Chains A and B, each alone.
Chain A
Amino acid sequence: MTRRSCVLAGMLVLAAPGFALAKPIAFADGTTVMLEYGAGTMTEAQVFYAPEFNYSVGGGHVEFDSAISPETVRITYARLNYLVQRWNLESAQANVYAWGGAGGATGNTFAGTQGVVNAGGQADYETRRVYASLKTDLQRSSAFSVRVDTLQLGIAPYEHEYNQIATWFVVQAREYTGGIQHGVESAFLLRFFRGGTWIEAGVTNGGKVQAMAMYNF
């Protein structure tokens, strides 16, 4: 990733009006814009529109910069997200999502543009005080294969109302395959959201910044 795109992503994150639990489908007839800066190894932007509550369509752009080699991969993709199952409990909600897509990739370890297949899924559980989320996302082509597995656990110091700012303390464990990074990267994040806007920022065990912003409308 270039320094310019790094700065741009950072500015967009800081400029975003604000995002408890990132979901690929926010609500029916809703649009989600998401930007994530993942500690220098992954930067991603996504836009999805959900015609119904159980699916959304859109696309994204992700850049991987290996922490252990000079390898860089840039992928632009179109994607369909599907809510496989939802459990609406009295004071909680749990979901299982799956997604799939396709796109093209360029990089500095292969020539031209490579076709890419994207597949992934997420399982989550959320109350107004705690949440847990496990996500896996695979980008695969004939030239490379990168999978990002992310576990997040969050706790809220107070139960927020709809029109109040929600605050979450989040711990995250993330693992990259495909030579992007060795071992599990952990991070501590502080997250705020109100209405349809969300912003979070934190630091990894390697001392790098991780940030994300999301806007739903």
Chain B
Amino acid sequence: MNRYRFLLIALLSLSPIAVRAATIEMHVNGLVCAFCAQGIEKKLRKFPQTADVVVSLEQRLVAVALKDGQDIPDAELRKALTNAGYTVTTIERNDTPIATIRSQVGQAKP
């Protein structure tokens, strides 16, 4: 039994799904208008790894929900937002579902 438990733990630890975050949260400077949000959302949705995007002007937050087992490197995220005309101050990964973030920032799903 202990052998199976060990194998299961080993397999889970090797699985990329188990170790990768579900969501990337970025704080962005210059995010003051709907057009800013629109441009950023359009840019981030072009990544094949992107499942959903939430932008909050109030929180100066851009959140990207990732498809299962996928990720977007920080350098690509910074490049995308810089090329959209904005300044990324922080990038964090977590397992918070995008629906929770959307609810926290008071936005209904479009």
In the complex, the chain A residue whose C-beta lies closest to that of B82 is A53
Is B33 within 8 A of A53, CB to CB? no
In the complex, the chain B residue whose C-beta lies closest to that of A22 is B35
Scoring A residues 182 to 197 as 1 if CB is less than 8 Å from chain B, else 0, what string do you get? 0000000000011110
Residues from chain B with a CB closer than 8 A to the CB of A26 are: 35, 38-39
Is A30 within 8 A of B60, CB to CB? no
Q: Which of A123-160 contact B (CB under 8 A)?
A: 126-128, 159-160
- A23 on the B face (CB < 8 A): yes
A-B contact count (CB 8 A): 91
Residues from chain A with a CB closer than 8 A to the CB of B57 are: 128, 159-162
Give the contact stretch, choosing among A60-68, A86-94, A170-178. Answer: A86-94
Is B39 within 8 A of A126, CB to CB? no
Residues from chain B with a CB closer than 8 A to the CB of A91 are: 32, 60
Is B83 within 8 A of A195, CB to CB? no
Residues from chain A with a CB closer than 8 A to the CB of B37 are: 162
Residues from chain A with a CB closer than 8 A to the CB of B73 are: none
In the complex, the chain A residue whose C-beta lies closest to that of B35 is A26
- B85 on the A face (CB < 8 A): yes
- A163 on the B face (CB < 8 A): yes
Give the Cβ gap from B103 to chain A, nearest Cβ, in Å. Answer: 13
Residues from chain B with a CB closer than 8 A to the CB of A20 are: 33-34
Residues from chain B with a CB closer than 8 A to the CB of A84 are: none
Residues from chain A with a CB closer than 8 A to the CB of B35 are: 23, 26-27, 196, 216
Give the Cβ gap from A144 to chain B, nearest Cβ, in Å. Answer: 34
Give the Cβ gap from B104 to chain A, nearest Cβ, in Å. Answer: 12
Residues from chain A with a CB closer than 8 A to the CB of B40 are: 27
Is A83 within 8 A of B85, CB to CB? yes
Is A162 within 8 A of B32, CB to CB? no
Residues from chain A with a CB closer than 8 A to the CB of B58 are: 159, 161
In the complex, the 5 A-B pairs of residues with the closest C-beta atoms, listed nearest first:
A27-B39, A88-B30, A53-B85, A88-B87, A88-B29
B positions within 8 Å CB-CB of A: 28-30, 32-40, 42-43, 55-58, 60, 83-87, 105-108, 110
A positions within 8 Å CB-CB of B: 20-21, 23, 26-30, 52-54, 83, 86-93, 126-128, 159-163, 166, 193-196, 216
Pairs across A and B, CB under 8 Å, 22 listed = A23-B35, A26-B39, A27-B35, A27-B42, A27-B84, A28-B84, A29-B42, A53-B39, A53-B84, A53-B85, A88-B29, A91-B32, A93-B30, A93-B32, A93-B36, A126-B32, A127-B32, A128-B33, A161-B56, A161-B58, A161-B107, A193-B34
